Structure 1
Amino acid sequence: MGGLAERLTDEMTCETVFTIPLFGGIEIDEAVVVTWIIIAVLTLLSIFLTRNLRVENPSKRQLALETVIGGLRNFFQDILGEEGRQYVPYLISVALYIGVANLIGLVGFKPPTKDMNVTAALAIMSIVLVEAAGIRKKGGVGWLKSFAEPVAVVLPINILELFIRPISLCMRLFGNVLGAFIVMELIKVVIPVAVPVPFSFYFDIFDGLIQAYVFVFLTSLFIKEAVE
Structure 2
Amino acid sequence: MQKEGVIMAEELMEQLDNHTAFTIPIFGGIPVPDSCVVTWIIIAVLVLLSIILTRKLKKVPTGSQCILETFMDFLDNFFTGILGEKGKKYVPILETFIIYIGFSNIIGVFGFVPPTKDINVTAALAGMAIILVQTSFIIEKGPVKWLKSFLNPINLLDLVTRPLSLCMRLFGNVLGAFVVMELIKHCVPGGVPVIASGYFDLFDGLLQAYVFAFLTSLYMAEALEEEEK
CA distance in 1, matches of 2:224, 2:75: 20
> CA 1:192/1:12 → structure 2, altered by over 3 Å: closer, same or farther?
same
Q: Does 1:138 align with 2:141?
A: yes
Counterpart-to-counterpart distance in 1, 2:141 and 2:56: 42
The number of equivalent residue pairs is: 221
Residue of structure 2 in register with 1:211 after alignment? 208
1:80-133 per-position Cα deviation (integer Å, ceiling 9, x unaligned)? 111211111101111111111111111111110000000000000010110111
CA distance in structure 2 between the partners assigned to 1:189 and 1:27 by the alignment: 31
Number of the residue aligned with 1:200: 197
2:89 pairs with 1:90: no
RMSD across aligned positions (CA): 1.5
Cα distance in 2 between the residues matched to 1:8 and 1:173: 20
Secondary structure, in 3 states, of the residue corresponding to 1:22?
Answer: coil
Paired residue secondary structure (2:56): coil
Q: Does 1:32 align with 2:36?
A: yes
1:170-181 to 2 correspondences below 5 Å: 170-181=167-178
Is residue 102–residue 205 contact of structure 2 (8 Å, CA) maintained in 1? yes
Matches within 5 A, 1:1-228: 1-55=5-59, 57-148=60-151, 155-228=152-225
> Sequence identity of aligned pairs in percent?
60
Aligned to 2:22, the other structure's residue is in SS state: strand
8 Å Cα contact 2:109-2:197 kept in structure 1: no
Cα distance, 1:7–1:221 mapped onto 2, change above 3 Å: farther
* Contact in 2 for aligned 1:4/1:185 (Cα 8 Å): no
Gaps of 5+ in 2: none
Deviation at 1:185, TM superposition (A): 3.2
Q: Cα distance 1:24–1:66, how it changes in 2: closer, same or farther (>3 A)?
A: same
Letter in 1 for 2:117: K
How far off its partner does 1:188 sit? 4.0
Partner AA of 2:94 in structure 1: L
TM-score of the pair, normalised by structure 1: 0.91
* Structure 1 spans left out of the alignment, 5+ residues: 149-154
CA distance in 1, matches of 2:209, 2:11: 24
Distance in 2 (CA, whole Å) between partners of 1:169 and 1:12 is: 21
Report the CA distance between 1:227 and its aligned residue: 1.4
Contact 1:130 1:222 in 2 (8 A): yes
Residues 30 and 135 (structure 1), Cα distance of their counterparts in 2 relative to 1, 3 Å cut: same
Distance 2:103 2:127 in 1: 20
